Amino acid sequence: MCERLISDGHQVVCVDNFFTGTRRNIEPLLDDRNFELLRHDVTFPLYVEVDSIYNLACPASPVHYQHDPVQTTKTSVHGAINMLGLAKRLKAMILQASTSEVYGDPEKHPQTEDYWGNVNPIGPRSCYDEGKRCAETLFFDYWRQHRLQIKVARIFNTYGPRMHPHDGRVVSNFIVQALLGKPITLYGNGSQTRSFCYVDDMVDALVRLAATPDDVTGPVNLGNPAEISIQELARTIIDLCNSRSAIVCGKRPVDDPCRRRPDIACAEAVLSWRPRIGLTEGLTRTIAYFDRLLSEDAVRRSLLDDPD
C-alpha cells in the first residue's frame, strides 16, 4: 500500500507497532523522501497532519488476534475512535479496512453488503469479528453525526509476498509447510471454502475506493469471487511447490465459517474493479517469495523448530 501511494505521487506517513508486521517489509522505502515511518499503536491518540487516512490496523489471523483478544478489540474500537477523531480534526477522508468476518458463519451465500451476518458475540473469534463490526458502527455514526468523509471496505482473504512466515493464515501456513516438507494441516476435513485475493489486486481496490466521491461510503466487498475448498488449496500448493508433504487433519476451530465468497457486484459497478490475478499466478508469486525467505538460515531454523 505504501509503495503504491508513493508511486502515485503521494507523501506517506506509515504508522505501525510491528505486532504482526516487520520492518523489513518497508526497508526499501526508508530512504525515500516521500516516506516517513512512525512506530505507534493506534489505541493511543495520534497527532499528524494528513489529507487521507487508511486505517488498516488490527491483526487479521486467528493465531495473532486470539493471542491477546482484549488488545485486539481495543485495536478495532479504540483505534477506530482515535483515527476518526484525527480525521474529524483534519477534515480528512478516512478508509476503514473492515473484514468479511463481519458476516460470521454466513447463512447467505455468496455474501452481499446488505447481509447482516451470523456472528457469535461471545466466542473465541469475537474479539476480531465484533471489534470490526463495532468499528463499522463508529464509522457510520461519525458519517451521520459529523458528516465525516468515510469509506468502508470489507476485505475477504488476502495473500501474497511479505506475509509473515508465522502468520497463521492458511496460505502462508500451507506454503511454508510444503516448502519444508512438513505435513500440511487441515482443520476439519478441509471441505470449508474460501476466496483468495492477491495483494496487488486488493491494494488497487482500496486506492480506487479512497478516490470515490464523498457520497460513496460503502461498505464495499473486496475480494476474489473464485471459491475453493481448503483441501483443494492444499493440493494446489503441494503441486506448485513440488512438495511431498502429506495432508493431515486436525480439530476444526470453534466458529470457523463453512463457506466464504464475496459478491463483488458493488465493487464492479462503483470502482470499475475486478481481480486480475488468478489463484495459480498469485500462489506462484507467493511461493517464490517464501522460497527466498526460507533460504535465510535463521528463518528456516525458526520454522523447522516450530512444532506447528
| Amino acid 182: pLDDT | 95
| Amino acid 308: pLDDT | 56
Q: Does domain 41-304 have CATH number 3.40.50.720?
A: yes
How wide is the angle at C-alpha 267 spanned by C-alphas 264 and 270, nearest 5°?
Answer: 145
Could you tell me how many helices (H) and strands (E) the chain has, helices first? 10, 12
Please state, in angstroms and rounded to a whole number, the distance separating the CA atoms of residues 287 and 241: 7
Output 197 or 167, whichever has higher pLDDT. Answer: 197
Does the pLDDT of residue 307 top 60, yes or no?
A: no
Cβ count within 10 A of residue 213? 7
**For the chain, which residues make up each domain, given as ranges?**
41-304
User: How far is C-alpha 40 from the geometric centre of its chain's CA atoms?
Assistant: 19
**Grid cell in block for residue 299:** 528463518
Within a 13 Å sphere around the CA of 84, how many CA atoms are in the beta-carbon half?
A: 25
Q: Which residues are catalytic?
A: 128
| Amino acid 306: pLDDT | 63
Does the pLDDT of residue 83 top 80, yes or no?
A: yes
| Amino acid 302: pLDDT | 67
For residue range 106-162, list pLDDT tens digits in order.
999 999 999 999 999 999 999 999 999 999 999 999 999 999 999 999 999 999 999
Please state, in angstroms and rounded to a whole number, the distance separating the CA atoms of residues 302 and 205: 35
* Residues sharing a CB contact under 8 Å with residue 32, sequence separation 6 or more, in sequence order: 6
**Grid cell in block for residue 171:** 496460505
| Amino acid 66: pLDDT | 87
- Tell me what the mean pLDDT of segment 180-186 comes to: 94
- Tell me what the mean pLDDT of segment 34-46 comes to: 97
Does the pLDDT of residue 202 top 80, yes or no?
A: yes
Distance linking the first and last C-alpha atoms of the chain: 30
Q: Do the bridges between strand 227-229 and strand 193-195 make them parallel or antiparallel, or are there none, so unpaired? A: antiparallel
Cell 447467505 appears where?
Answer: 108
| Rounded alpha-carbon distances, angstroms, from residue 242 to 222, 237, 293, 300 | 31, 8, 17, 18
User: How far is C-alpha 234 from the geometric centre of its chain's CA atoms?
Assistant: 20
Output 189 or 129, whichever has higher pLDDT. Answer: 129
| Amino acid 305: pLDDT | 65
